[in-house]
Amino acid sequence: MKRMIKVLLILVLITSCESKKVNELNNRIFELEKLNKKLNDSLKRNSYKRLISSQLFGISEKNSLELNKLNRFKFMFSSLQTMPKYNVYKITKDGDKEKRTLIYEDYTKSHFEYNFTPKNKSENSFELKALFFLDTVAIEIPGVIKMPFKD
């Protein structure tokens, strides 16, 4: 009987210690999950701030446009870091309506190229927009080029 009581007492002590350790580990997991959420929120906030302070620059191969000929442009963001996924659209306007044509989808490089072929002398400009999606926030960064024609 004494032996059985000793065994029961040892089992109770072991399970009691184990239960205490499990509670400590669960508390530690909870604290780490809270810290992880804070770090994720901070990273997202930094990414958002970086994007809203970015600029999109367009650089032409030539000093002027050539009518009915391909004109190459290289666009780049002010940051050379890899970007979060974004789409690039060519913007055309018909009165108050804006039409978007997808050029690049889920792009992450900090630069891209665009070829523009003006059909007449009134087409001396174009607009592109980079569209980023960060969780529930959409950020648009425009790039507008206006150049004279070659004489």
Task: Check pLDDT > 80 for residue 14.
Answer: no
What is the DSSP-derived secondary structure letter of residue 126? E
Task: Give pLDDT tens digits for 89-120.
Answer: 999 988 889 899 999 999 999 999 999 999 88
Question: Shortest CA distance to 128 belongs to which of 143, 108, 107, 141?
Answer: 143
Q: Which residues contact 87 (CB under 8 A, 6 or more apart)?
A: 102, 104, 105, 106, 107, 130, 131
Cβ 124 vs Cβ 132: under 8 Å:
no
| Residue 48: predicted pLDDT | 83
Q: Which residues pair with 99 in a beta bridge?
A: 92
* Average pLDDT for the chain: 85
Q: Which residues pair with 140 in a beta bridge?
A: 131
Which has the minimum average pLDDT: 24-28, 60-64, 84-88? 24-28
Task: Give pLDDT tens digits for 30-71.
Answer: 888 888 888 787 878 888 888 888 889 999 988 888 888 889
